[in-house]
């Protein structure tokens, strides 16, 4: 990191390293581990940006009360977060309460592809239990209340002495209307409501988007007046994880929604990376990741105009190559496509800043090739190539030198 010229590093604290049972007794070895990391970063002039929760619910809490489906999670999460403030807040000045609540609500409780693997789609052929029409909204509601509870604790007990800031990071695709007609423009707006607005609107305006209230009805939880007051305004900055842009068109028949009965169909928008057979942009390795740099500028201006230009950190941006065992390492290090990706996305981010967008920082996903959730080791996002066959040896890809030059010219 020092060699590249980086001045900040984002990482997450694993809940079960601090509380192996989710609550109860603190594990001092976990505290010691993160103290070493934080102190090592600061010794090198690198500012830690700490994500408190990145999808890693302690198994004990899922066993005990089904985790995010039960309001008890708010109390247990708040205790964990406050322990982080107590133990590390004298040195950590940037806190991110959650990474991508939309992703784990949908992937974990609607389609069942990620932990805890709950769903009710297609007669629950692959899921042990769940209700795809209700559980994602319950999870999202508890996440918002947990975030706001922790923000309130930090504001009242730690901010004055520690001097830090607190936000939350969202996964945000940009959506372009499939065609320039009112129904597709409306569909693109609804798709954004059901992705970003689901969490942003309560935090900025005190309630869920009107389109969600209208289309989801009684399945969408309600905030009490005191909860609304707690949630509204409970952040200092917004984290945006942005990788790609897709098209959106109106789902007028909602045939799929009738069959699936899940939250993905509630928006009444069909989102695709194709118009006919033509893709929206060049494709990375991941099936969902198409390279559309101008989406970054459009998204930043959307956040600026809709939410009053809050401080924004790009908390993730990047692209992956396939982990091809037949490609020699020396060839795998030649990542011209990644260099062009970052050059073009950063150029659009720079344009957005000139438009007046309040962008404060930018993090690449990721420094190292790593375990990419459901994709495992088949996907390589890293600036550094990791040789999984040779003791995790690290090799800088060409993009490392590009960033080194970029950062030195920026200073």
Q: Which residues are tagged catalytic?
A: 100, 316
Plot region of 395 (φ>0 → left; ψ -120 to 50 → alpha; else → beta):
beta
Hey, what are 405's tokens? 């030059």
- What is the C-alpha separation between 291 and 177, in angstroms, rounded? 17
Residue 325 near residue 280 (C-beta atoms within 8 A): no
Residue 1 token pair: 């990191």
**What three-state secondary structure class fits 22?**
coil
Q: Is 143 helix (H, G, I), strand (E, B) or coil?
A: helix
Please answer whether residues 169 and 96 qualify as being in contact, where contact means their C-beta atoms are separated by less than 8 angstroms. Answer: yes
CA nearest to 27, candidates 14, 11, 39, 37? 14
User: Of 285, 282, 283, 196, which Cα lies nearest the Cα of 239?
Assistant: 196
Which residues in 316-326 are b (16+ Cβ under 10 Å) and which e? bbbbbbebeee
Q: What angle do CA 174, 175, 177 make, to 5 degrees?
A: 155
> Facing residues of 170 across strands?
240
Q: Which of 319, 338, 323, 336 has the alpha carbon at shortest distance from 389?
A: 323
Which DSSP symbol is given to 111? B
Q: Which residues pair with 119 in a beta bridge?
A: 111
Cα–Cα dist 242/319, whole Å: 10
Q: Are 87 and 132 spatial neighbours (Cβ–Cβ below 8 Å)?
A: no
DSSP for residue 334 = -
């Amino acid at each position: 990191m020092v060699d590249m010229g980086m001045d900040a590093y984002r990482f997450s604290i694993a809940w079960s390293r601090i509380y192996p049972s989710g609550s109860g007794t603190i594990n001092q070895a976990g505290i010691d581990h993160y103290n070493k990391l934080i102190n090592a970063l600061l010794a090198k002039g690198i500012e830690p940006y700490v994500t408190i929760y990145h999808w890693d619910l302690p198994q004990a809490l899922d066993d005990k009360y089904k985790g995010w489906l039960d309001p008890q999670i708010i109390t247990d999460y708040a205790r964990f977060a406050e322990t982080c403030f107590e133990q590390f807040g004298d040195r950590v000045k940037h806190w991110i309460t959650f990474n991508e609540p939309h992703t784990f609500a949908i992937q974990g409780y609607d389609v069942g592809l990620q932990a805890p693997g709950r769903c009710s789609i297609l007669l629950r052929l692959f899921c042990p239990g769940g209700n795809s029409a209700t559980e994602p909204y319950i999870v999202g509601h508890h996440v918002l209340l947990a975030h706001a509870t922790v923000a309130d604790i930090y504001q009242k007990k730690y901010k004055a002495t520690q001097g830090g800031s607190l936000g939350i990071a969202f996964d945000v695709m940009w959506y372009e209307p499939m065609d320039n007609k009112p129904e597709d423009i409306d569909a693109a707006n609804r798709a954004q409501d059901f992705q970003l607005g689901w969490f942003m609107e309560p935090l900025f305006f005190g309630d869920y988007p009107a389109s969600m209230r209208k289309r989801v009805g009684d399945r969408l939880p309600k905030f009490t007046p005191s909860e609304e007051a707690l949630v509204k305004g409970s952040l200092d900055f917004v984290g945006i994880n942005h990788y790609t842009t897709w098209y959106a068109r109106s789902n007028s028949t909602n045939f799929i929604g009738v069959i699936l009965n899940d939250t993905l169909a509630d928006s009444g928008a069909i989102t695709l990376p194709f118009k006919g057979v033509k893709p929206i942009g060049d494709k990375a390795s991941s099936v969902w990741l198409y390279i559309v740099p101008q989406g970054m500028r459009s998204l930043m201006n959307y956040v600026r105009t809709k939410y009053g230009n809050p401080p924004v950190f790009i908390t993730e941006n990047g692209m992956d190559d396939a982990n091809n065992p037949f490609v020699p390492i020396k060839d795998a290090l030649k990542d011209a496509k990644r260099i062009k990706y970052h050059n073009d996305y950063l150029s659009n981010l720079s344009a957005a800043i000139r438009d007046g967008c309040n962008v404060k920082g930018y993090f690449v996903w990721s420094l190292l090739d790593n375990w990419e959730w459901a994709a495992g080791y088949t996907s390589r996002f890293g600036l550094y190539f990791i040789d999984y066959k040779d003791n995790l040896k690290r090799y800088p890809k060409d993009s490392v030198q590009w960033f080194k030059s970029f950062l030195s010219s920026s200073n």
